[in-house]
Amino acid sequence: MTNAQTTIEKQNNSSGLKRLKRRGFTLIEILIVVVILGVLAALVIPGVVGALTDANTSAASARASQITTMVTRFNQFKPGGVSITLTDGTSYTPTTLAPLVTANYCAAADLANQVNSAKGWTWTASTSKFTPTP
């Protein structure tokens, strides 16, 4: 061995410990990464859920406006002599609004309430608008 190699080996082993080549990650490093990812997910998920709820509410309000327009036009033209009677505070389901589908004003899926598909739409006479039934 050369003098330089011997000096380097002595410096590396001066503490008396042999240095091993590291391969991969230690368990602690992996656990730290998992914890950091968990904290980030815990911070992000509530925001995403809130945004999704707001988007569904906005979409339901927009669809309620479209249904109001469709029913108004349907009642003006009365195709086949049929009209949809609107009563204040009454909840209308896709079944009660089915004449709109029959007259090709919309598709059956367009009458679904995005906020709660089991519920329909409520007519409010004071505003002359449909709103999603909560």
In the chain, how many domains are there?
Answer: 1
For residue 111, being part of any structural domain is answered with yes
For residue 114, being part of any structural domain is answered with yes
For residue 21, being part of any structural domain is answered with no
Report DSSP letters for 55-99, one per residue.
HHHHHHHHHHHHHHHHHHHHHHH-GGG------TT-EE-TTTTHH
Structural domain containing residue 96: 60-71+81-134
| pLDDT tens digits, one per residue of 21-66 | 668 889 999 999 999 999 999 999 999 999 998 998 888 889 999 9
For residue 34, being part of any structural domain is answered with no
pLDDT range class, residue 8, cuts 50, 70, 90 = low
For residue 127, being part of any structural domain is answered with yes
